[in-house]
Amino acid sequence: MPTYIMILYLSTVLVIIFTATWYVFKRRGIDPRTDPDAPISVNYFPSRKCNYHCGFCFHTETSSYILPIDEAKRGLLLLQQAGMRKLNIAGGEPFLNPKFLSQILQYSKEVLGLESISIISNGSKIRENWLEEHAKWLDILAISCDSFHPETNKKIGRGTDGGNVTRLFQIAAWCRKYGIKFKLNTVVNIYNWDEDMATEIQNLAPFRWKVFQCLIVAGENDDETRKTDARKFLVTEEQWQTFCRRHEHLDCYVPEDNKHMASSYLLLDEYMCFLDKGEGMMTKSESILKVGVMEAMKQVVWDRKSFVERGGIYDWSRPELFMPDQSNGCNGAIGDIDSEELQW
């Protein structure tokens, strides 16, 4: 047999063996993305700095620290290698650091190849030219919206100019224009629990509307010695249920009460330490940059069952084929990812 044929034959055999081995590993759950202990979805707070002063905030501006970009990328690589599929960037206000944010988006999508990257913002610093330039790396943009009344937003601490609603509709239109999934987040509190938001939500047509019950986190917003005191923003169970009943007919509506919020999120702070905001004082792990992802995860509580039950797994990627200005409406989800895929 000629040498070149022998080389071709051996190369083909090696490819077949490698492919078969990968398939077996994947079926057995060895692929880190499907490992039950993998950090499937991570909420990263690269900075605590914010230009708003929401009275119930549980991640207040206690420092102005932000990691050097190379260290942040190293941490994200560790998370991706451990099985992270979705990265959610929150704060603080992420758009106060636009260069850092741009670098994280590009690296996470082009180098790490993450399935989904989302940002949570108050919307005050978002500009169309930024979205146009970065849309190719951004799957979801979530805007925090607690009221459609300027005076209510001022009472809550969401700015002082009363322009939140105007910006909100503008950002929703930009998202449709550039193919970014538009999402809303609302915290039900003492100032908005009796507000009917159904008409505005239908007009905005988010693909997902997350509605949170105002939450107390010990050590962050639990008394007058903290930067925020969320106790005066709390609602009763009846007030919470009243808001839920008023909006539950909306297809995009996804409620989260305190029980499901407490330990169902993997939170990563500005030092890349996991945060545990369950019962008692908020605790944190050692940095993943120091001890690695899996060791750091052992030092906090992450309730995987609650993560799935609250809808933590959903259609979080942009459609492969996008038609400009095409709105999916209030029930814009294309189809949920099967939670059984994670073997939970």
Catalytic (active-site) positions: 50, 54, 57
Could you tell me if residue 11 is left (phi over 0), alpha (psi between -120 and 50 degrees) or otherwise beta? Answer: alpha
The label of the residue with tokens 């880190």 reads 32
| CA distances (Å), origin 330, targets 99, 181, 209, 318, 333 | 32, 11, 8, 16, 9
The full DSSP string for 27-80 is HTT-SGGG-TTS--EEEE-S----S---TT-SS--S------HHHHHHHHHHHH
Listed in sequence order, the residues at least 6 apart from 344 whose beta carbon sits closer than 8 Å to its beta carbon are 36, 304, 305, 308
Nearest to 112 by CA among 142, 74, 71: 74
Distance in angstroms (rounded) separating the CA atoms of residues 227 and 93: 16
